[in-house]
Amino acid sequence: MSSTYFEKYLDIAPLSLALWRAIEASALHQAKRHTHYHRPILDLGCGFGEFAGVFFKSNIEVGIDISATDLLRAAQGKKYQNLYIQDARHLSFPNDSFATVISISVLEHIPRVNPAILEAYRVLRPGGFFIITLPTNKLYPYLFYPQLFERIGLVWLARWYYRLYNQAFKHVNLWPQAKWKKLVRAAGFEVVYTQEIISPAATKIFDLFLLTALPSQIGRWLLGNRLIWGLGWKKKLLGAIFNPLIRQTTTRGSNIILVAQKPA
């Protein structure tokens, strides 16, 4: 299953992001032992739908995002029955509207994130699941370039890279796993399952190849769509190299998957 995720993401994303997304998708697949993806589903911060487009075999009911450009791209993928421009902290849906809410690498970008967690709780039905992935404060120690700069004595360059990384990815909440669990419980959820994902090795490789994603990202900024080319036989080669890393079981990682349930 992990190889399928990786190959599909390579069709729509550069190598570094495809690796990241494939590991997240594999983690959600493994989490089926602890949760159910019952319908209807809300994708909180769906972007242009790249995660749902690969992970879910059929359409899901609702996606929301604050970016109109991304939602237009998501609409082209025809993976969502309904798409709305909404802030995750102020949802328009009635109480108990959804059986499942997913949020894939989103909450770390939201300032004053607590209301978004409370809103997820409100719109979930009793017994429904809130499933999130996000990076934690363990991301920085596992990045490739800062470690390289520090080893050769360029500590100032490592610090500059951290600042640039944060600006590029718009991270505002890189918190420990324990803090996220506390916030989710404070909203009323019961934490069912947590697991660190994206191993130190995978995080380093993601960072190492990040520069190769720049042309694709520029295409997204200018054209509203990533530029992906030159795959073909490369897909099989990349799969042979990186699929063992995606399938790797880890007890340490730069990210977490967290499954929480609204009490019935």
Domain limits for position 177: 2-139+171-261
- By DSSP bridging, strand 255-261 and strand 190-197 are antiparallel
pLDDT tens-place values along the chain, 264 residues long: 555 898 888 888 888 888 999 999 999 999 999 998 999 999 999 998 999 999 999 999 999 999 998 999 899 989 999 999 999 999 999 999 999 999 999 999 999 999 999 999 999 999 999 999 999 999 999 999 999 999 999 999 999 999 999 988 899 999 999 999 999 999 999 999 999 999 999 999 999 988 876 655 555 555 556 555 555 556 777 777 788 888 877 889 999 999 999 999
Q: How far apart (Å, rounded) are the C-alpha atoms in residues 176 and 80?
A: 32
Name the DSSP letter for residue 224.
Answer: S
Q: Is residue 187 part of a domain?
A: yes
Name the DSSP letter for residue 183.
Answer: H
Q: How far apart (Å, rounded) are the C-alpha atoms in residues 255 and 90?
A: 26
In sequence order, the 6+-apart residues with CB closer than 8 A to the CB of 248 are: 199, 201, 202
Q: Is residue 36 part of a domain?
A: yes
pLDDT single digits (tens) 24-73: 999 999 999 999 899 999 999 999 899 999 999 999 999 999 999 899 98
Q: Is residue 236 part of a domain?
A: yes
Q: Is residue 64 part of a domain?
A: yes
Before 40, cis peptide (omega within 30)? Answer: yes
Q: Is residue 50 part of a domain?
A: yes
Structure tokens at 40: 């209807």
Structure tokens at 147: 């470690």
Structure tokens at 172: 């505002």
Neighbours of 65 (CB within 10 A): 23
Confirm if 42 and 102 have CB atoms less than 8 A apart. yes
- Give kind and range of the element (H or E) at residue 64: strand 60-65
At which residue do the structure tokens 């994206």 appear? 198
Q: How far apart (Å, rounded) are the C-alpha atoms in residues 226 and 12?
A: 7
Determine the residue type at 49.
Answer: G
Q: How far apart (Å, rounded) are the C-alpha atoms in residues 124 and 121?
A: 5
Q: Is residue 53 part of a domain?
A: yes
- By DSSP bridging, strand 124-135 and strand 98-104 are parallel
At which residue do the structure tokens 């993806």 appear? 37
- The enclosing domain of 78 has a CATH number of 3.40.50.150
Determine the residue type at 243.
Answer: N
Q: Is residue 98 part of a domain?
A: yes
pLDDT single digits (tens) 239-255: 777 888 888 778 899 99
Domain count, the chain: 1
